[in-house]
């Protein structure tokens, strides 16, 4: 039973590896935020994107 | 950018919480196994904060996630010969990688929001983390059980497939 369980755990971690790999791909799209943007500018961008 | 950071944090939580559940050892042993990783995470928090100020979130996230991918891959090759301290070392390294990703990515996402939306952003991130952790654990434990069952049936039937060299 133990080898079967080990196989199950390994399979689960393999899937977990692919989930982590998906995160790694997404990390390449991270951009540095504009830290000098004023609150008004942030508000304007936020409203343009999310407001009704 | 906030949405992207939330998605990264969701996928990472799925992978992180599942590793804590999948370890097939007694509660006291698994608690001791996770202790160094938790200590490393605590120590790394201020260090990661400084690195975030110097290099930004992208560099940290890519490095940290590369470590997470590698260590999770090492976990996918466990055998009966794998020692307790070997698993502990891999898990500690994995938590080191996670500490380089979690906080910088979340901070980077929150920095995009106007100040009045910070509480909402934090609440969304925390909720998503808990929910994705629960979903990820359930999903991966289901996969583990299904695979264990099918391999056990094959072994009982005496089939040659799924036997490791």
Q: Which of A19-33, B36-50, B83-97 has the lowest mean pLDDT?
A: A19-33
A5 CB neighbours in chain B (<8 A) are: 24, 148
Q: Please report the pLDDT score of residue B25 as a whole number.
A: 72
pLDDT digits over B112-134, tens only?
888 888 888 899 999 998 899 88
Please indicate whether, in this complex, the C-beta atoms of A30 and B5 are within 8 angstroms of each other: yes
State the complex-level ipTM: 0.83
Q: Please report the pLDDT score of residue B22 as a whole number.
A: 67
3-state SS of chain B?
Answer: CHHHHHHHHHHHHHHHHHHHHHCCCCHHHHHHHHHHHHHHHHHHHHHHHHHHHHHCHHHHHHHHHHHHHHHHHHHCCCCCCCCHHHHHHHHHHHHHHHHHHHHHHHHHHHHCCCHHHHHHHHHHHHHHHHHHHHHHHHHHHHHHHHHHHHHHHHHHHCCCCCCCC
A4 CB neighbours in chain B (<8 A) are: 148-149, 151-152, 155
Query: Is B63 within 8 Å of B100 (Cβ atoms)?
Result: yes
Please indicate whether, in this complex, the C-beta atoms of B148 and A21 are within 8 angstroms of each other: no
Mean pLDDT score of chain B: 86
Q: How many CB atoms lie within 10 A of CB A5?
A: 17
Q: How many CB pairs under 8 A join A and B?
A: 141
């Amino acid at each position: 039973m133990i080898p079967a369980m080990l196989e199950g755990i390994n399979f689960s971690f393999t899937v977990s590896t692919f989930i982590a790999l998906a995160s790694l791909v997404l990390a390449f799209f991270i951009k540095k935020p504009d830290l000098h943007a004023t609150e008004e500018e942030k508000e304007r961008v936020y409203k343009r994107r999310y407001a009704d | 950018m906030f949405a992207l950071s939330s998605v990264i944090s969701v996928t990472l939580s799925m992978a992180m919480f599942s590793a804590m559940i999948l370890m097939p050892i007694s509660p006291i042993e698994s608690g001791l196994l996770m202790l160094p990783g938790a200590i490393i995470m605590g120590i790394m928090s201020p260090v990661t904060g400084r690195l975030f100020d110097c290099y930004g979130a992208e560099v940290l996230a890519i490095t940290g996630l590369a470590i997470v991918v590698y260590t999770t891959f090492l976990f996918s090759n466990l055998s009966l010969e794998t020692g307790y301290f070997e698993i502990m070392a891999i898990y500690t390294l994995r938590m080191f990688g996670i500490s380089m990703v979690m906080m910088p990515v979340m901070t980077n996402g929150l920095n995009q929001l106007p100040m009045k939306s910070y509480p909402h952003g934090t609440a969304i991130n925390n909720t998503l983390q808990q929910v994705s952790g629960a979903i990820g654990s359930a999903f991966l434990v289901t996969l583990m059980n299904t695979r264990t069952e099918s391999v056990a049936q094959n072994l009982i039937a005496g089939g040659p497939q799924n036997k490791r060299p």
